A and B are shown apart, each in its own frame.
Chain A
Amino acid sequence: MTNATDTPKHDVIIIGAGPAALSAAIYTTREDIDTLLFERGVPGGLASVTDWVDNYPGFPEGIAGLELGGNLQKQAERFGAVIELGEVLKIHDEGKWKRLETTSGDMLARAVLIATGSDYKKIGVPGEAEYYARGVHYCATCDGAFYRDKRLVVVGGGNSAVQEAMFLTRFASHIDLLVRSSIKASDVLQRDLQKFVDSGKITVHLDTSTDEIVGKDNKVVKVLGTHDGQKVEFPTDGVFVFVGLKPNSEFLEGSGIEMDHIHLVKSDENLQTNMKGVFVAGDIRSGATMQIASAAGEGATAALKIREYLEGHEHPVQN
Chain B
Amino acid sequence: MVKNITIFTTTTCAYCPMVKKYLGAKGLAYEEVNLDQNPERQQEALALSGALTVPVTVITKHDDTQEVVVGYNLSRLAPAVA
Contact = CB atoms under 8 A, between A and B. Distances in A.
Contact of A133 (B10, B14, B51): B51
A209 B71 CA distance: 30
Taking residues whose C-beta sits less than 8 angstroms from the other chain, chain B's interface range is: 20 to 34
Contacts of B74: 85-86
Contacts of B28: none
Contacts of A70: 17
Is chain B's interface secondary structure helix, strand, loop, or mixed overall? loop
B52 A49 contact: no
B55 to A, nearest CB: 8
Interface in B49-82: 50-54, 70-72, 74
Interface string B1-30: 000000000101111011000100000000
Nearest to B49: A133
Contacts of B54: 142-143, 145
Contacts, number: 67
A142 B14 contact: yes
A257 interface: no
Interface string A145-175: 1111000000000000000000000000000
A299 interface: no
Interface in A123-146: 133-135, 137, 139, 141-146
A205 to B, nearest CB: 23
Contact of A141 (B13, B35, B52, B71): B13
A145 B35 contact: yes
Interface string A80-108: 00000110000000000000000000000
A66 interface: yes
A42 B18 CA distance: 7
Given A85-B22, A145-B42, A133 B53 contact: yes
A85 B17 CA distance: 13
A134 B50 contact: yes
Nearest to A65: B14
A318 to B, nearest CB: 27
A51 interface: yes
Interface of A: 41-44, 48-49, 51, 64-66, 69-70, 85-86, 133-135, 137, 139, 141-148, 238
10 contacts: A41-B15, A42-B15, A133-B52, A133-B70, A134-B52, A139-B13, A145-B10, A145-B39, A145-B42, A146-B35
Given A145-B10, A146-B35, 19 more contacts: A41-B72, A43-B18, A49-B15, A66-B12, A86-B74, A133-B52, A137-B52, A139-B53, A141-B10, A142-B10, A142-B13, A142-B15, A144-B10, A145-B12, A145-B36, A146-B46, A146-B53, A148-B39, A238-B52
Closest 6 CB pairs between A and B?
A141-B12, A48-B14, A133-B51, A146-B52, A142-B13, A145-B10
